[in-house]
Amino acid sequence: MSRLGFIVSPASRSSIGADLLVTDQKCKRAYSVQVKTNARTFNFWLLNPKAREIVSPTHIYVFVNLRQGGNDIEYFEVPSRQVSNRMVVQRRPSPTWYSFSIEDAEPFQNRWKVFDSP
């Protein structure tokens, strides 16, 4: 995101729903970003159960697939409303899984414009 011209800072370790805090160069637009990364399974990402509740026009998920040892990286920038609406809950004996599928993420691949321009 820094390469795109945004100012990016890691969020506090105590923040529940955000890994990064992002703003444009003029500090007129700010975003919270939750990053989810896969290096082995590439068809879904595990979520926090609170993903259904943490919804804002300025809260974005960046789902990342690190394929072939990190040489081929896929990015999906998905608004939190979409994640909340399409989150899958799989009740298992233990634990319950909360996930977001790659099929739901694909329309957002390399859609950095969800952040507007820096």
Quick one: pLDDT band at residue 69, thresholds 50, 70, 90?
A: low
Start-to-end C-alpha separation, the chain: 9
Residue 80 has pLDDT above 90, yes or no: yes
CB 2 within 8 A of CB 8: yes
CB 63 within 8 A of CB 111: no
Look up the CATH superfamily of 34-115.
Answer: Dam replacing family, catalytic PD-(D/E)XK domain (3.40.210.30)
Q: What is the mean pLDDT of residues 80-95?
A: 91
Global confidence as pTM: 0.91
Handedness of CA 111, 67, 34, 30 (dihedral sign): negative
Among the listed ranges 20-24, 37-41, 51-55, 65-69, which one has the minimum average pLDDT value?
A: 65-69
pLDDT at 118: 60
